[in-house]
A and B are shown apart, each in its own frame.
Chain A
């Protein structure tokens, strides 16, 4: 499978700590506060979902965790060390798949291995990842020949081949049709259980968050602060019709101010 057998590395997921993280953008000379003192502790191998209104700062937070940007204030740590730059142990699946148009699906998925010089030894993983996302027949297709959902699945495969310790997912299933989405959610859970990485998932879909995550963090409007944390201790595999999940869903929607419609 994509991940190597657990025996050669007993601790696979990494921890993540956010301490009083603040972030401001500069918008035409005006500071635009986006993140407001976010503190969060994510344990090894935990699956945490982030929910919040559009434009509140979720993607911004993920970029900080990836090490692509530095926070205005506060600190982010993984395994007790400050996050200063991107690292292949923390892989991001961006909101927009952004495949390289000049590479085939296969070589897009190979990108991480190639960048780290592991292509020769770990070639087989690419096939595995493509099979996992159901793109085996499209290995030689170019991105412009894919549908939006297929591109997103290719982007997911591109992340998975790297065997990350922390997988950062920014609405990775957003463009999939509801059937593929349900399948991919199931795949994601079993992959996470097998590989044991820590997962941080941004989603707009409350059901998805509750189906996948052990903990759901609800953000406020911009500037985002943590409004609520809902622990979801239901064992995996979960069932969509579970009345307990329905109850949690009601809670989450209440925190998002949408319970009136339920």
Chain B
């Protein structure tokens, strides 16, 4: 059960007056955050920007904040009747604080100009980048995703198979283990100059580097998972007539899966780091490259926009992997929630 549902289904303390009722709490929380967003919208719209600045999207930002405020208010009223909307109640404090943060940011940049430009652009500058430069950003996302996916899946697959082989076969362990010990701890980025020189294209070189960065933790954790399988599991399967193949596929691998997922998480983190470096230094495409390009032109708003997008994407991918794990390892007790 996810944490959100938990919050909703937890029994409320009985008889604590008006504010203890879930409907009331949801209404008050929702209206408070709606008000905060409304204030942010009003502030943006009616407090004129600092003279001699020409932010093109001040009005759009105000409209967006206003729209969010209206949506939140509607959801708050709806939650009195429909319990579905009450799960947003958990978000109210965060939405409230975010509105305050945005308003403060808006005030110190666009309105008062307290922070130096171009290093600290106002929020509407970022809106401007996302709207005016979305083509290049989308192309960057696509390029990054393609590179990351290819490298990650390749590295994860090779790492998994290698890990199972070392964990299972003495011969594979004898030959692969020393190589792994020697080469594995080397940061994948150390291979960068060599890779760009050896591989036919910077794209293939980057795939290699990402696969390497992913593969090492996946291999080590798969291996330790397979090696650590309770030997009683094998005894049971053997007395029931299991073949070697069955022991590997139906006993060793499922038993090692919790470890494998730890490796996949570490590999994903590593792959993000290598992706950005590879894009900055070699590939000339993708969000990493966009970041560097923006910095080169002192286009800091573009940089913030790209950083924000990158954060969403990385966090989204980690969430996706957590979902996959929760689904596959639902048999485990006490999984950590993301």
Contact = CB atoms under 8 A, between A and B. Distances in A.
Contact of B331 (A96, A101, A111): A101
A14 interface: no
Contacts of B254: 100, 102-103
Interface in A236-251: none
B331 to A, nearest CB: 5
Interface string A9-47: 000000000000000000000000000000000000000
A98 B141 CA distance: 47
Interface of A: 63, 66-68, 85-88, 90-92, 94, 96, 98, 100-103, 111-112, 114-116, 142-144, 158, 162
Given A102-B331, A115-B246, A94 B235 contact: yes
B255 A112 contact: no
B1 interface: no
B237 A142 contact: no
B232 A101 contact: no
Contacts of A86: 235, 238-239, 241
Contacts of B250: 114-115
A118 to B, nearest CB: 9
A112 B240 contact: yes
B53 interface: no
A116 B239 CA distance: 11
Contacts of A111: 236-237, 240
Given A94-B232, A98-B230, 7 more contacts: A63-B235, A92-B235, A98-B232, A98-B233, A98-B236, A102-B255, A112-B240
Nearest to B241: A88
A85 B236 CA distance: 13
Given A101-B331, A101-B332, A66 B255 contact: no
7 contacts: A63-B235, A94-B232, A94-B235, A98-B230, A100-B251, A115-B240, A158-B240
Given A98-B230, A102-B257, A66 B333 contact: no
B239 A142 contact: no
